[in-house]
Structure 1
Amino acid sequence: MTLDQETRGDVTILRPVGRLDSASSPELERAVLERLEQGCKRMVFDLADMDYVSSAGLRVILLAGKKLRAGQGRLAISGMREMVREVFEMSGFLTLFAVTPTLDEALSKV
């Protein structure tokens, strides 16, 4: 996995590219925690270029959501490919977060 990061206004956009699994999830977790420590209150995961997510990857996204909620922040997820969406659906994560087809829609949700 590679991780692209962008900031638009006060929104952090994280774009994992490739596979988000037990080998790559620590990198994403570090990025999430770093942004939260810097005071980030609005975050979007753009998953348009993510091919696969494991339970380790889901844990990082759940961690981000919990920490943001605790600090009155918001999280949205955009651009899931079908296989990734199925994993989110089976795990019940689709009901936990604002999930949108496009990045622009996700930005409007946070």
Structure 2
Amino acid sequence: MEINSDRNGEKLTIAIEGRLDTNTAPELDNAIKNDIADIKDLTLDLSGLEYVSSAGLRVILATQKIMNSQGKMVVTNVQDMVMEVFEATGFTDVLTIE
């Protein structure tokens, strides 16, 4: 998995490429927690995300909970396979997906 961050003031975009699974979820969790302390506007760009497991979903949900209290989070460019997982797990009701 590859994680690319682009910060502009209180706005942060995190692009994720590859597989978000049990092995890579802790890496994403650490990257997000290190970067979002004073962020008001977070975008998760999933255009390169090929797969997400339950461990990855936990990281995304935990991030959404943090951002609910300090700003907003938008998930963009979700691939069909990942969108199917979001739909099956009810994440489409929890996340703002564009």
Residue 9 of structure 1: how far off its partner (Å): 4.1
Determine the C-alpha separation between the residues in 2 that align with 1:90 and 1:22. 19
Residue 98 of structure 1: how far off its partner (Å): 1.1
Q: Which amino acid aligns with 2:96?
A: A
Q: Is residue 22 of structure 2 the alignment partner of residue 22 of structure 1? A: yes
For residues 31-51 of structure 1, what are the alpha-carbon distances to aligned partners after superposition, in whole Å with 9 as ceiling and x for unaligned?
A: 1111223x1121110000010
Partner of residue 81, structure 2? 83
For residues 57-104 of structure 1, what are the alpha-carbon distances to aligned partners after superposition, in whole Å with 9 as ceiling and x for unaligned?
A: 111010011011123x1000000110000001111011111101xxxx
Determine the C-alpha separation between the residues in 2 that align with 1:35 and 1:55. 22
Q: Which amino acid aligns with 1:10?
A: E
Partner of residue 97, structure 1? 95
TM-score, with structure 1 as normaliser: 0.84
Q: Which amino acid aligns with 1:13?
A: T
Partner of residue 8, structure 2? 8
Q: Which amino acid aligns with 1:5?
A: S
Equivalent residue of 1:49, what SS? strand
Determine the C-alpha separation between the residues in 2 that align with 1:65 and 1:48. 18
Determine the C-alpha separation between the residues in 2 that align with 1:86 and 1:9. 33
